[in-house]
């Protein structure tokens, strides 16, 4: 193999690993790599799973296959935008292969656009906003935000001390459930189950499950099945931690009488404006992207809420995802940016993670029929979300692949 071909192969592997580590789903990553390889006069075949990347490259000298072990990371909107812009400059001939590779490495090594304290605060605010969407009282909202801070602290400790993979989820579930029960017993009567769910919302893998179903619908079976299995196991281990707290301190439960205004939704519209901004910080989207993220999220929530009474849970999820998909693709076409920028924070407001959590907690209480009902609802809502996004991609496709 010549030095030029060796550099091309190394570059394609580098791009695949970087996109993989920063949260690109398989159906987008494989299309990006296929187009990029074609532009470099290399025929490529790519297979992605959440824990590995298989790359087969063919040129005039033959075929070479590479296997890399890598863990799929969380979505980093800022770095994905910068990766996309850099690759676009390569395709336009503004950068050489070596310069592009160096710039991609510099982007990957760059610090987060926000300080750690702001991202921690964003986690707390998102938990409080979700509690409002669940129609929580003011005290329950404050408790959810406080427990969101605790969960964020657990994540920081997990990274700093290098805890074993899979240990964070049950610990976070146990600490959050125990904290909610302690508030109910020692401070003020609250619905500890609602507060526990809201406090854990940043860890509940509803988005991961929805992405896995999208990958399955797109024909990426290995990645979809692996991601779905990982999401379900993560949800199960969180629930195990919650269940242990309930067994230890279940006697602390002190449910309040429901206030008259718990069913009102006026505060929810304020929460739906706050939550996307908080999730934007969590996903590392910079300030210029916040207005479009908030607008797309509000459109999705409004479409879901306004159609819910007439079309039911699945119909409202489809309409909400359709609105988010249309808004994201329109942004991508008008601003020439990746559709993932508003799509990921916008869709997370609609994902059915809370239904999966409620299903497993119902099983903990030996309410089998209720648990099965929640589980079926979770699957149907997730499929409806996937259908809405795919329909939006067909009717108004984005110009960019990422």
**Euclidean distance between CA atoms 78 and 82, whole angstroms:** 6
Give residue 152's region: left, alpha or beta (phi > 0; psi -120 to 50). alpha
b/e per residue 366-399 (b: at least 16 CB within 10 A): eeeeebeebbebbbbbbbbbbbbbbebbeeeebe
Nearest partner of 278 among 341, 210, 345, 327, judged by Cα: 345
Q: At 65, phi and psi to the nearest 5?
A: -115, 135
pLDDT of 4: 64
CB atoms within 10 A of CB 225: 14
- List beta partners, residue 45: 56
Residue 237 has a pLDDT of 92
Q: Note down pLDDT in tens along the chain; length 402 residues.
A: 566 667 888 888 888 898 888 878 887 888 888 888 888 888 888 888 888 888 888 877 778 888 888 877 777 888 888 888 888 888 888 888 889 889 999 998 888 888 988 989 999 998 998 888 888 888 989 999 999 999 999 988 888 888 888 889 999 999 999 999 999 889 988 888 889 988 988 888 877 877 888 888 877 888 888 888 888 888 889 989 999 998 898 788 877 655 544 444 567 777 888 888 888 888 888 888 888 888 888 888 888 888 877 787 788 889 988 999 899 889 888 887 888 788 878 887 777 666 767 777 777 777 878 778 878 888 888 888 888 888 988 888 877 666
Helix (H) or strand (E) holding 67: strand 62-69
Can you give the pLDDT at residue 173?
92
Side-chain-side CA neighbours of 147 within 13 Å: the count stands at 36
Q: Kindly give the residue spans of alpha helices, DSSP state H, lying in 185-289.
A: 192-199, 206-217, 221-249, 266-282
**Four-residue CA torsion sign, 376, 278, 306, 395:** negative
CA gap 145, 139 in Å, rounded: 10
385: Cβ contacts below 8 Å, ≥ 6 apart: 210, 213, 317, 318, 320, 321, 347, 350, 351, 352
Per the listing, tokens 């600490």 go with 175
Of 207, 179, 210, 338, give the one whose Cα is nearest residue 279.
Answer: 207
């Amino acid at each position: 193999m010549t030095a030029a071909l060796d550099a091309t192969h190394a570059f394609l592997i580098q791009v695949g690993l970087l996109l993989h580590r920063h949260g690109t789903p398989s159906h987008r990553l494989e299309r990006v790599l296929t187009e990029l390889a074609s532009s470099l006069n290399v025929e490529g075949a790519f297979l992605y799973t959440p824990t590995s990347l298989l790359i087969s490259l063919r040129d005039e000298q033959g075929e070479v296959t590479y296997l890399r072990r890598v863990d799929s990371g969380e979505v980093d909107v800022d770095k994905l935008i910068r990766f996309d812009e850099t690759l676009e400059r390569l395709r336009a001939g503004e950068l050489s292969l070596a310069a592009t590779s160096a710039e991609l490495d510099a982007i990957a090594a760059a610090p987060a656009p926000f300080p750690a304290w702001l991202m921690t605060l964003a986690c707390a605010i998102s938990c409080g906003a979700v509690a409002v969407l669940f129609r929580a009282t003011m005290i329950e909202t404050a408790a959810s935000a406080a427990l969101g801070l605790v969960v964020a602290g657990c994540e920081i400790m997990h990274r700093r001390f290098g805890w074993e993979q899979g240990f964070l989820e049950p610990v976070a579930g146990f600490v959050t459930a125990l904290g909610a029960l302690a508030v109910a017993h020692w401070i003020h009567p609250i619905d500890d189950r609602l507060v526990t769910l809201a406090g854990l919302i940043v860890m509940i893998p509803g988005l991961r499950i929805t992405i896995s179903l999208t990958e399955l619908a797109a024909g990426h079976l290995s990645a979809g099945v692996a991601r779905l299995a990982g999401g379900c196991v993560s949800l199960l281990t969180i629930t195990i931690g919650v269940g242990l707290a309930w067994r230890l301190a279940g006697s602390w439960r002190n449910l309040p009488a429901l206030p008259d205004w718990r069913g009102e939704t006026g505060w929810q519209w304020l929460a739906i404006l706050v939550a996307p901004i908080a999730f934007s910080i969590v996903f590392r989207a910079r300030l210029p992207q916040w207005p479009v993220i908030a607008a797309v999220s509000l459109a999705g929530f409004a479409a879901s809420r306004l159609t819910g009474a007439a079309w039911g849970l699945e119909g409202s999820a489809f309409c909400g995802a359709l609105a988010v998909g249309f808004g994201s693709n329109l942004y991508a076409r008008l601003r020439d940016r990746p559709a993932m920028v508003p799509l990921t924070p916008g869709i997370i407001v609609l994902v059915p993670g809370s239904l999966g959590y409620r299903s497993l907690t119902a099983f903990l209480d030996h309410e089998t029929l209720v648990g099965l009902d929640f589980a079926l609802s979770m699957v149907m809502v997730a499929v409806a979300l996937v259908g809405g996004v795919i329909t939006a991609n067909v009717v108004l496709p984005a110009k960019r692949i990422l």
